Amino acid sequence: MATSVATTGALPAVRRAPTNKWLVTLSVTFGTLMGAIDSSIVNVALPQIRGAVGATVQEITWATTGFVIATVMVMPLTGFLGRLFGQKRVYLACLVLFVAGSFLCGFAWNLPTLVLFRFLQGLGAGALQPTEQAILRQTFPPKEQGTAMAIFGMAVMVGPAIGPTLGGYIVDNWHWSWIFFINVPVGILGFFMVARFVQEDEQLRTTARVEAERQRKHMDWSGITLLCMGLATLQYFLEEGQADDWFESPVIIACALFAATCLIAFVIRELTAVAPAVNLRLFKDPVFASGTMLGALVFAVLMASMFLLPVFMQELLGFTATQSGMSLMPRTLVMMLMMPIVGRLYGKVPARVLVGIGIVFAGFGAFEMSHFSLATGSGNIIAAIALQGVGFSLMFVPLSATALANIPRERMADATGLNSLLRQIGGSMGLAIFTTLLSRYSVQAKASLAAHLNPERLEVASRMAATQKGLMQRGLDSAGAQMASLQMMAGNVSRQAMVLAFDKLFVLAALMFVVVLPLIYFLKAAPGGGGSHEKPHIDVEI
């Protein structure tokens, strides 16, 4: 370690070696990638987990709901916690909590323990994503901010994409508990790398200590309580609304009213508090506000479109979880290839242009999916999702970089927490809306198709007669063959209705991209660069 002896004091002043940005990046990306993977990896193992813990289909969804609720509760408090305890300590503590929760999930013996351990996992994962984003913004120089956000985007976007593939492979070849145990060695490696290499800048720590004293004197317990209650009930509303038929359920109605009341009271509290736990005044910056809000809208459409395709492949095309994940892998590979390229283009090409081109690619990919049928093969799927992979990459990097362009260094953790929160809520809203529409569109399509199945129509009568004759040739009697032919016809109608519902939703996704396209006008460019043009202040010990 290089040192220099100060001539004006009794103690030597230690000068740290220059920042090794790639060691910092590798260290902090482990946690974010694991948290992103865990948001989707569990879904493919739910049938096996349900049998192991003795839960019903509806009850096992709490394994996912509890994780997401805990995650959104922590995200906006990242800056607050970082000032009180130190950014690095918060990251390490949350990484330990995430790894411990993962380890315990593998040993869960019933549903309550699984939900509790998944909740612990979510509390740990909530701070990892915004903290990494803040550290990367402070580590990379101004001209490489696009590269920093490309690396961050790969962890955030690629994680959920490879989660189902990895989970399907583990479930098909090993025990379901390994989807949790796999986090332990990776988390331990990430912990020691962060502890060894990442160091906080003394100037930032001094500023944080001053603000921490102010926070302790005026602890915002009311704001924290309102935030946690409001976000928890809002996320429950979004996650469980479809299962409970939305506003037909008194519980869902109560959650909606309670969430709205708490969040309105929270906003009022934070705007009037002496030392607010969450700095909502950051939205006064038009660069941050426009980038964050547009990012949330785009992410809602992205998450909805990413949700639809695996369901289509498994429910209608008969793919296994592993086959479905492998068919989606080309989109992941395209994103991994494109994001570094987009990172280099950022700063050379206007963010509006990159986002606009990305929206066109993603929208055209969704439109191509609207032509899927029961005869669709892997080649058709790969062509469509490759277009979306290009679009996702072109959108995510400039949106993330532009939103934080004017944020001061000492407020970066607050801004990344809010940015991650709204992106998460946007994704949840997109999933809730499209899940509801899928159910309703399939019912409508089935009713429309059934209206044409009149036995007096020549086409229907001949199809029924041919099916019945074939069944009788296989040994069924006349009555049994007639009943079986009716059941087969009903099954075909249901499958075709689901295809029509999916196609309609893919068209809707494409139209939503078109609607979002004019909003790039509000993606204001940073005039002076603000915080992004300051010298990075995260040091690395070598």
Two tokens at 63? 């394994």
Which residues is 539 bridged to in the sheet? 199
Q: Give 483-500 pLDDT, tens digit per residue.
A: 766 667 766 777 888 888
| pLDDT above 50 (res 432) | yes
Residue 415 near residue 291 (C-beta atoms within 8 A): no
Q: Give 371-386 pLDDT, tens digit per residue.
A: 888 888 778 888 888 8
Q: Give 396-406 pLDDT, tens digit per residue.
A: 888 888 888 88
* Confidence bin at 316 (pLDDT 50/70/90): confident
What is the per-residue pLDDT for 542? 30
* Confidence bin at 120 (pLDDT 50/70/90): very high
Question: How large is the average pLDDT for residues 135-144?
Answer: 75
* Confidence bin at 528 (pLDDT 50/70/90): very low
* Confidence bin at 263 (pLDDT 50/70/90): very high
Question: How large is the average pLDDT for residues 501-512?
Answer: 89
The upper half-sphere exposure of residue 305, i.e. CA atoms within 13 Å in the direction of its Cβ, equals 33
The phi and psi torsions of 374 (rounded to 5 degrees) equal -70, -15
Question: How large is the average pLDDT for residues 8-30?
Answer: 60
Domain covering 280-526: architecture: Up-down Bundle (1.20)
Question: How large is the average pLDDT for residues 334-351?
Answer: 84
What is the per-residue pLDDT for 10? 39
* More confidently predicted of 141 and 95: 95
What is the per-residue pLDDT for 95? 92
The upper half-sphere exposure of residue 105, i.e. CA atoms within 13 Å in the direction of its Cβ, equals 33
Question: How large is the average pLDDT for residues 458-473?
Answer: 66
Please tell me the distance from the alpha carbon of residue 375 to that of residue 379, in angstroms, as a whole number.
Answer: 11
Q: Sign of torsion, CA 355 357 360 364?
A: negative
Question: How large is the average pLDDT for residues 249-268?
Answer: 93
* Confidence bin at 8 (pLDDT 50/70/90): very low
What is the per-residue pLDDT for 11? 36
- Those residues with Cβ within 8 angstroms of residue 440's Cβ, 6 or more apart along the chain or in another chain: none
| Domain 19-219 CATH superfamily | MFS general substrate transporter like domains (1.20.1250.20)
| pLDDT above 70 (res 136) | yes
| pLDDT above 90 (res 261) | yes
Q: How far is CA 45 from CA 60, 179, 211, in A?
A: 11, 8, 45
| pLDDT above 80 (res 464) | no
* More confidently predicted of 277 and 21: 277
What is the per-residue pLDDT for 254? 93
In single-letter form, the type of residue at position 134 comes to: A
Q: Give 531-542 pLDDT, tens digit per residue.
A: 344 433 333 333
